[in-house]
Amino acid sequence: MRALRLAGRVALGVWVWIVLVSLVSPLSEPSEPSDPDTSPRVALRPVAPESAPETEPEAVAEPAPPEPEPAPEPEPVAPPQVLSASDVRRGDAWLSAGGSFPIISASYDGLQSFRRYAEAMTSIGARFVVVSRQRIVGEVDLASGSLRPPVLDRPFSPRARDYTDEPALAAPARRVRQRYGGDAVIMLLVPRALDAGLFGAIARELSNRGEGPEAFRQVEGRYEQGPGGGLRLRLEAAERLDGSRLALSSIFELSRFAGGPG
């Protein structure tokens, strides 16, 4: 019995000791969170080694822009020329030679209408005639549009201009076909002295540039009205036989020419 009480005291003593130890010993505190990481961040980019100093990229010289080509100098505008007697003599030889002289292709845009062109041409002796079977059978009076017998009072150039399809002459062209047949055409006859002077002046201009008329297929120009209502021809270009072109700028007075109206 005594041993039993001793064992109980020992057990009680052990329990009391455990309780005292638990009361006296401080409770374990929860661990404080560690300080935030204040270490420097490393940039995610390549870093050159310390031994390699940074260098500026070598400047590459840009090529200089090409200099613009100089604009071609415009043709000097020469004063209008009057067809001289020497031009007429020179050109008459070309007229007699047949078809060796280049074709003269000139528009009447500078006169604003075909009627003004026709009136200017008739004022210097030209005639609108009716040709049928290679014969001159009549003449067109542009003022009234009527037909009349031809009046050939001077020598005319063998180079006649066909104006049958000109819209401004549509009504006279119908009357011509009704009277003279379907093959009849309206052609413009120019005084021979005028064409001869024009051919000679053009030949002179081309020769001054180192080429003769035989090297060209056609000469292009434009009719214009000069001061006082006179008729002018402004040359613009000449087309060579090989298709290349030569710029021209001569102006010829057609209302005054050797052997023609004063």
pLDDT tens for each residue of 13-53: 333 333 333 333 333 343 444 444 443 333 333 333 344 44
What proportion of the chain, given as a percentage, has pLDDT over 90?
57
Residue matched to tokens 């003593």? 13
CA 219 – CA 236 distance, rounded (Å): 8
Question: Average of pLDDT values for 60-79?
Answer: 61
pLDDT of 1 over the 70 cut: no
pLDDT band at residue 12 under the 50/70/90 scheme: very low
CA 262 – CA 259 distance, rounded (Å): 9
pLDDT of 261 over the 90 cut: no
pLDDT band at residue 255 under the 50/70/90 scheme: confident
Structure tokens of 150? 């031809």
Per the model's pLDDT, the better-predicted residue between 201 and 64 turns out to be 201
Structure tokens of 103? 């074709």
Q: Would you say 88 and 194 are in contact if contact means Cβ atoms under 8 Å apart?
A: no
91 burial level (CB within 10 Å; 0-12, 13-18, 19+): buried
Q: What is the pLDDT of residue 68?
A: 64
| Residue 160 neighbours by CB under 8 Å, 6+ apart | 129, 131, 187, 188, 189, 190
pTM of the model: 0.67
Q: What is the mean pLDDT of the chain?
A: 77
Helices (H) and strands (E) in the chain, counts: 5, 11
